[in-house]
Amino acid sequence: MKSKRYTRVQRIWALPNSMAALVDTRFRGYDTVAGVMEYVWISHPATGSLPGQPEMRYPMESTRRQNPSTYNGLAMHIGDINIQNPLCLAPMEDVSDVPFRLLCKEQGADLVYTEFTNCEALVRKVKGAFKKIELDARERPVAIQIYGSAEDSMEEASRIVTDQGADFVDINCGCWVKKIAGRGDGAGLLRDLNKFRAVVESVQRGTHLPVTVKTRLGWDPDNIVILEVAKFLHEMGIAALTVHCRTRKQGYTGDADWSWLPRIKEASPIPLIANGDIETPAHAKECLDLGCDGVMIGRGAIHSPWIFSHIKHYLATGELLPDLSLAERIEMCIRHLSDSATYRGERRGCMTFRRHYAGYLKGVRNIANLRRDLMEFDEVAPIRERLYRFLEEYKAEEDAAEAAA
């Protein structure tokens, strides 16, 4: 990696956790073309200090590279972030917190996004809003997603998340929930494209970082506006566009309509990230084959955080990895739970973690009693003990069934 302003480059991609905590929030530079996340610390030749952010805002570029270790040689760039076939973890309310983002990063996610955060809450310094945008150096590159429709507040929120250390700023223009979209925020912007433009411009004014947008096809089937949106966002210099291939009216019902993806690519050169119903490696490959520059996974990652590594293996080899065993799932679940308890405090961490049990235990038979018991605990130790006991009972039942056969 070369820089006209900073010449001495240290590669510190093998940092232990104790050192990773010392990395400055202005730390930048990522390269995953070889399939391995590599952190690059660019130091000033005279002082050795980390540089500030460059005063520029360029659109992300997509290029083809010849690299047999990757699926199709597609590279995307957001500022100094250079990622091959990027797999992104979607911003999900009450799910995409620091422990979950770190777990998905470990499992192969290239880009992670915070939970969406209201601009007004950030401007008013609401404690809970700032908790949502806390970052960890180990999860980089990471975007902070904000939403709102008040231009002054969105501009100020953009400044706040820039100071927080985001690698880029993402604008939520796709939340379909009535209390959000009904007041003109999120997907509500799809009904007023002039307002949509104004909100995007306000975020750009508030930051020197790359700005990206996540949205939907349109408000309803009679008002599909995504082609127009893709065109004007590219003209405005937006770095990338993520499209959930449903309308606001659909919410999460029906199927995501991926047939729009090649039409969007034909209408605009803006880098495109596909979202919606991507729950298997084959789904991810199909979206990339349709011309997308990357894919974003939301609900599929909740019940299978390991989906990112499975997709990468499939793209590289064409082979599907076997699903994790129950023992492997439980070990990952307990580790995730422990991290959540450390991050939020034991009682709150255990309570907020309850939404993840259904995912880790998906497809496992006879779990009604187990799930009932897990919901009663607010400490890690009894949850760990109950999960291990269930695993032993499950193995004993399997062994007995095999012996009887």
Q: Do 311 and 330 fall into the same domain? A: no
CA distance 373 to 396: 20
68 in a structural domain: no
Q: Are strands 117-118 and 168-173 parallel, antiparallel or unpaired?
A: unpaired
Among candidate residues 277, 297, 317, the one where a domain is terminated: 317
**pLDDT for the residue 73:** 52
Among candidate residues 296, 317, 338, the one where a domain is terminated: 317
Q: Do 92 and 223 fall into the same domain? A: yes
245 in a structural domain: yes
Highest mean pLDDT among 47-56, 154-163, 361-370: 154-163
Active site residue 119: no
CA dihedral 287→288→289→290, nearest 10 degrees, is: 50
Q: Do 147 and 276 fall into the same domain? A: yes
Q: Is 354 exposed, middle or buried (0-12, 13-18, 19+ CB in 10 A)?
A: middle
Q: Do 256 and 305 fall into the same domain? A: yes
Angle at 295 between CA 230 and CA 1, to 5 degrees: 90
CA distance 298 to 106: 16
Q: Do 347 and 273 fall into the same domain? A: no
Q: Do 352 and 240 fall into the same domain? A: no
Contact criterion met (CB below 8 Å) for 45 and 6: yes
The encoded tokens of residue 20 equal 């990773």
Residue 85's pLDDT band, with cuts at 50, 70 and 90, is confident
Which CATH number covers residue 374? 1.10.1200
Q: Which of 88, 175, 287, 292 is catalytic?
A: 175
Whether the model clears a pTM of 0.85, i.e. scores above it, the answer is no
Q: Do 146 and 230 fall into the same domain? A: yes
Q: Do 312 and 370 fall into the same domain? A: no
Which CATH number covers residue 167? 3.20.20.70
> 363: domain range?
326-404
Residue 7's pLDDT band, with cuts at 50, 70 and 90, is very low
346 in a structural domain: yes
303 in a structural domain: yes
Contact criterion met (CB below 8 Å) for 245 and 260: yes
Question: Over the chain, what is the mean pLDDT?
Answer: 83
Total structural domains in the chain? 2
Q: Show Cβ contacts of residue 59 under 8 Å, excluding neighbours closer than 6 positions.
A: 234, 237, 238, 239, 270, 271
Give the pLDDT mean for 185-193.
97
The three-state secondary structure class of 14 is coil
Q: Are strands 81-84 and 74-78 parallel, antiparallel or unpaired?
A: antiparallel
29 in a structural domain: no
Q: Do 191 and 255 fall into the same domain? A: yes
Distances (CA, A) of 45 to 56, 254, 266: 22, 56, 44
**pLDDT for the residue 117:** 97
Q: What is the pLDDT of residues 86-122, one digit of tens each?
A: 899 999 998 999 999 999 999 999 999 999 999 999 9
99 in a structural domain: yes
Looking at this protein, which amino acid is placed at residue 185? Answer: D
CA distance 244 to 217: 7
The encoded tokens of residue 373 equal 């018991």
367 in a structural domain: yes
Q: Do 301 and 181 fall into the same domain? A: yes
**pLDDT for the residue 83:** 80
Q: Is 99 exposed, middle or buried (0-12, 13-18, 19+ CB in 10 A)?
A: buried
Residue 74 host element (H or E): strand 74-78
The encoded tokens of residue 25 equal 């929030």
Among candidate residues 292, 317, 342, the one where a domain is terminated: 317
Q: Is 47 exposed, middle or buried (0-12, 13-18, 19+ CB in 10 A)?
A: exposed
Q: Do 313 and 346 fall into the same domain? A: no
Q: Do 204 and 297 fall into the same domain? A: yes
- Tell which wins on pLDDT, 182 or 50: 182
